[in-house]
Amino acid sequence: MQRELDPKLFGNPEIAEDEQKLSPPSLSAKPFDSSSIGFQSLEIKELKQQLQMSQKRVQLLEEKLSQVISKMSQGLGSQSTSIEKLQKNVERNNKFIESLHKDLNESKANLSSKINERKVQESKIEDLLDRQNMVIRNFENRLTAMQKIINEKEIQLMNYASVLQEAQRRLGLK
């Protein structure tokens, strides 16, 4: 804030006159005039009316402002309750999702262990089947070999029987 020196101290009459124009009128400086009193009373009445109108406007604005503030506080209250409800719903949904995730992981683990057990059982069964097939093939091979031997022995027996018949015929036994 700047400070200014009093112009009266230095004797500058122009500045002193300007300040007198700006300063409020003093009662002793003006002569008493009845027409100016009537004019002033009219101005005072108008100013009072304007003041009353301004006060009414201010009062209306204050009422509107209080209404707006109450509506905003109600809106904020309802928003905060709805936000709290949403947060609770989100938390509940998160818990539900976590429990589902846990259940799914447990189910997945159970299924994968069952699948692994079945694979082990299937591999054991396949091994047993392979061994059984090998035993059957060996049996078939032996059976085929035995049939060859039996066929050879039958042929040999038939040869022996024909030789025996020929020998009996030569000997005249028949």
pLDDT digits (tens, 9 = 90+) for 97-130: 999 999 999 999 999 999 999 999 999 999 999 9
Q: How far apart are CA 11 and CA 5, in angstroms?
A: 12
Least confident among 25-39, 63-77, 87-101: 25-39
Residue 36 neighbours by CB under 8 Å, 6+ apart: 30
Helical residues (DSSP H) of the chain, grouped into ranges: 13-22, 34-171
Q: What is the pLDDT of residue 26?
A: 47
Q: How far apart are CA 44 and CA 33, in angstroms?
A: 16
End-to-end CA distance of the chain: 168
Q: What is the pLDDT of residue 28?
A: 47
**Other CB atoms within 10 Å distance of the CB of residue 36:** 11
pLDDT of residue 40 exceeding 60: yes
Q: What is the arithmetic mean of pLDDT over 142-155?
A: 96
Q: What is the pLDDT of residue 53?
A: 92
pLDDT of residue 19 exceeding 70: no
pLDDT of residue 29 exceeding 60: no
pLDDT of residue 54 exceeding 80: yes
Q: What is the pLDDT of residue 27?
A: 44
Q: Are 62 and 54 in contact (CB under 8 A)?
A: no
Sign, Cα dihedral of 111, 116, 121, 126: positive
Q: Are 16 and 7 in contact (CB under 8 A)?
A: yes
Domain ranges of the chain: 49-137
Residue with tokens 């029987």: 161
Q: What is the mean pLDDT of the chain?
A: 84
* HSE toward the beta carbon, residue 40, CA cutoff 13 A: 6
Q: What is the arithmetic mean of pLDDT over 85-95?
A: 94
Q: What is the pLDDT of residue 174?
A: 54
